[in-house]
Amino acid sequence: MIHEFRTYDLKPGSLAQYYKNTAPMMEKRLEYSPLVGYFHTEVGPLNRVLHIWEYEDLNERADVRSKVVNDGIWPPPNKGIVENQQVDIFMPAPFMPSFERERAIGPLFELRLYRYPVGAIPKVYEAWAPKIEARMKLAQPVGIWSSDIGGVNQLAHMWAYENFEHRMEARKQFGSIGWPPDSGVMPITMQNMIMFAADFSPVQ
């Protein structure tokens, strides 16, 4: 399984129009492949949307993308609104459990992106695996992934919170569960974004 992260930077003030253009097309688009979630930033790089699509592999991704264009149901008419696009392919961490497609676990979502030295992510996974159950008791994950294509050597993890107070309370308890686990390697760079979900996102 792979997850495609599509990150779009929009013109300032155009988010409402972007969603107005996109929402009516989502029902048909979801007949072709599952959507993990659809989000926009509140804190961090503003005017940014992230949609995460699930495919069995790159062959299915190519097949679906060809079909939705040929069938005329995608992409939405957002030309002139989207100023920049980035596409990355991520693979879910091996220790992540399966989740129901639709989950009301937010409405506040925190996406953290770490870039590690070459070969370090398996060490991070090894350290995280025994701690992940305790971490999930503090907040539910949308997912934990490592990059396969695009920005390499990246680890992405996205967590859901009821509100900012819930996030702060969870972080206060990190020490009691040994989080973040000591993997013996440090990220080269770290990014953090607070996001809200679109009305049509399966994760809310």
What average pLDDT does the segment 54-76 reach? 97
- Give me the domains of the chain, ranges plus CATH numbers: 2-197 (3.30.70.100)
Count of C-beta atoms within a 10 Å radius of residue 6: 14
Arithmetic mean of pLDDT, 168-192: 96
Give the tens place of pLDDT for each residue, 78-117: 999 999 999 999 999 999 988 888 999 999 999 999 999 9
The C-alpha atoms of residue 120 and residue 117 are separated, in whole angstroms, by 6
Pairing state of beta strands 48-55 and 108-115?
A: unpaired
Say whether 111 sits in a helix, a strand or coil: strand
Mean per-residue pLDDT for 34-49? 97
Q: What is the pLDDT of residue 197?
A: 98
Region 154-174 average pLDDT = 97
Residue 98: its pLDDT value, please? Answer: 87
Output b/e per residue, 14-27; b: 16+ Cβ within 10 A. bbeebbebbeebbe
Residue 5 has pLDDT above 90, yes or no: yes
Alpha-carbon span 36 to 32, nearest angstrom: 13
Residue 26 has pLDDT above 90, yes or no: yes
pLDDT value at residue 25: 97
Rounded CA separation 165/124 (Å): 28
